[in-house]
Amino acid sequence: MKSPYLLLAALVTVAIACFPARKTGPLYADASAPLEERVQDALSRMSVEEKVALTHAQSKFSSAGVPRLGIPELWHTDGPHGIRPEVLWDEWDQAGWTNDSCTAFPALVNLAATWDRELSLLYGRSIGEEARYREKDILLGPGVNMGRTPLNGRTFEYMGEDPYLASALVVPYVKGVQENGVAACVKHFAVNNQEVRRTATSSNVDDRTLYEIYLPAFQAAVQEGGAWAIMGSYNLYNGQFNCHNKKLLCDILKDEWGFDGVVISDWGGCRDDDEAIVNGLDIEMGTWTNGLSGNASDSYANYHLANPYLARLRDGRATEEVLNDKASRILRTIFRTSMGEQHFGSFNSPEHYAAARKIAAEGIVLLQNDGTLPLSIPEGGKLLVVGENAYKMMVVGGGSSNLKTKYEIIPLEALHEVFDGHAQVVWERGYVGDTTTDYNKVVTGQDLSESRSAGQLLSDAVQAAQDADCVLFIGGLNKSDGQDNEGTDREDIVLPYGQDTLIEALAAVAKKMVVVNISGSPVAMPWAPKVNAIVQSWYGGSESGHALADVLTGAVNPSGKLPFTMPLALADGPLKTERQYPGIREEGQEWWQEYYDEGVFIGYRWYSSKGIPVQFPFGHGLSYTTFSLSDAAVKAAGKDRFTVTATLTNTGSVAGAEVVQLYISDVEASVERPVKELKGFQKVYLKPGESRKLSFSLGRKDLSFFDASKHEWVAEAGAFKALVGTSSEDIAASLDFSLR
């Protein structure tokens, strides 16, 4: 019998022959060591199998680390409005934890309506602290897809219809999140502007439109915000799926922009073994699910970037060079997050609730007011509140932004806090919209059942309005299918559930009538001339009711501005044909084809250029005080640079903030350009009678269009106008200047 020591030596010899030599000695675990040294050191110690294991999911929301080397797994969490409750290992349903109720922050469209870079930084820092406390490494957000159509079910998750506004706000958000050692994963890259057939539609877009409208916010997030992660989108772009789209991920994101972070698939967005390997995808998540449902899967080894990848590496169809790039990006992400500088975060803190309330209030938009607001109810008087959205909790539902929050203040509760003991607050439902009170087993606990008929509900509301000092209608949309909801689009911008009829009936009998529309996307308002005031509110998170009451009562002077256009009717918009939206099925094509024939003319660019009237323009928002703009001027500030100045004065009697907006018009362009494009804004807080001189800087890029034939930005010599105002249509000064 052979000696056991000889047998052991033989086994060691075989092991050495089978596995590549790796470094010995301690791993660079010290976060103070140079990042790239740590990455390359760890990479040199890893086997091919360990590298491949990094590139795909190991559970619904985690991807593998390298346990042998003490490198932890990556934990992903849905945002971007709060930290998703814990789910079961392989399923979407909740895990049943009792300590994962988060602070729900306002929807991103609410943040966009603040037009406030400092609040965006506060938002990012706050949600980043919550993610870090919950030991999450990658926050799946923010979303910066453009508002091409008001029907998009996820408009509420994005930052409006203008690339400059979204770019300006995404940068501080990303920086704020990543200050906490949490990677912001900017989504959904790219031209992902509808939910209907989102996994089977090719967005066919020309390069000029792509670079001018749909890429700027992503580029700003990467190059100015330093984003550590990008999420690919479900759709195809020009015929290739975006989670492994060579032009988007390799040519533009990684080569042109120099992105050194990690590209993550949307859940179920990876569709092909070979393309996933070579076309820029780094981590594959959620394969064989559609992002919303799907059976539990223990088949992680069969993901496109799992065993199929290993097989290709072993037979030479794939190279280790490409694998090393993927693994390096993933290691870089781990060393920036859980193995980076130590952060502890915080959760459900008073500061977070205060931030949520402030952001929600600052984004509420006063659309119309004849002096009825702020609310003034006589002592002993009656405030009639009508509408389901005054009572229904809105945090639960909507898709992947579904949250379990510690609490949610509804508008009716906040109004009782303000007026109880002074005036009577009475609520009438008025209509039945969505009686759902749970989503993925997150339950609100409300009872939204209703025994009255639609006719009786309307009659009861109108009867109650007869003796009310003011009728406050709080309605709009919700997060159910066909409303503001992931996975479905709206059918029209008309208010659902017969709300237009109800508003008209109330306005006919009310002494004073205020309409609050709660939605994440535009709605038509044919009754606008018949009511005294209109307020655009949003899904405001945990403190939504308090924020709305603050604005309605004047505790907060409204300063929000619309981040999208409110059209009079859907038919007025730029998408006129089925081939534009929702797409057509052409002979011989496997996927639906959608053509961006409108080019760069979306949102206010379309309405302004075509002279089409709207209900309320992009950038519009009123205040309880008044402002004036004066002394506007433009002057040269060096080669190809200009400075635009103007003085803003608070001419009213209440302290408040105004957003001064700068638009540029290219008068002599050789290509068709919009009559105005946003190129600057400043939000300024002033006391009554106070003035401030504002200054905007313009460079060649601000005056340029993208020339696809040259693949570069071109600023043509000739005449331009600088338009200074307080909305895209409220222009106080038009200033001529020339680029030589």
Query: Is residue 112 packed enough to be buried (19+ CB in 10 Å), middle (13-18) or exposed (0-12)?
Result: buried
Distance CA 264, CA 243 (A): 8
Output the furthest CA–CA distance in the chain (Å, rounded). Answer: 105
Distance CA 329, CA 260 (A): 7
Distance CA 102, CA 176 (A): 18
Count CB neighbours of 392 within 10 A: 24
DSSP 552-615: HHTSS------SS-B-S-GGGSS--STTTTT-B--TT-SSEEEE-TTTT--THHHHHHHT---S
Q: At 178, list the tokens.
A: 């990543």
Residue positions counted in the chain: 740
- What are the beta bridge partners of residue 736? 721
Write the CB contacts of 217 (distance below 8 Å, at least 6 apart in sequence).
144, 146, 159, 163, 166, 167, 170
CA 95 to chain centre: 26
Q: Which of 171, 297, 155 is nearest to 225 (CA)?
A: 171
Distance CA 381, CA 63 (A): 59
Compute and round to an integer the Cα radius of gyration of the chain: 27
Distance CA 101, CA 103 (A): 7
- C-beta of residue 428 within 8 angstroms of C-beta of residue 388: no
Query: What is the 3-state secondary structure of 379-417?
Result: CCCEEEEECHHHCCCCCCCCCCCCCCECCCCCHHHHHHH
Q: Are strands 438-439 and 442-443 parallel, antiparallel or unpaired?
A: antiparallel
Q: What share of the chain is helix, strand, coil (3-state, %, to 5)?
A: 30, 20, 50
Q: Is 266 a catalytic residue?
A: yes
- What are the beta bridge partners of residue 694? 646
Write the CB contacts of 254 (distance below 8 Å, at least 6 apart in sequence).
280
Q: Which of 80, 77, 76 is nearest to 109 (CA)?
A: 80
- C-beta of residue 45 within 8 angstroms of C-beta of residue 27: yes
The CA–CA distances, whole Å, from 430 to 446, 453, 460, 502 equal 17, 10, 7, 7
- C-beta of residue 398 within 8 angstroms of C-beta of residue 356: no
Out of 78, 116, 266, 666, which one is annotated catalytic? 266
- Tokens 């994101």 map to which residue? 253
Distance CA 451, CA 458 (A): 13
Q: At 132, list the tokens.
A: 């870090």
Angle at the Cα of 114 from the Cα atoms of 734 and 723, rounded to 5 degrees: 5
**SS3 of residue 324 by DSSP:** helix
Phi, psi angles (nearest 5°) of residue 76: -100, 150
Distance CA 547, CA 555 (A): 9
The CA–CA distances, whole Å, from 15 to 11, 66, 439, 673, 717 equal 6, 19, 51, 66, 70
Residues acting as catalytic residues: 266
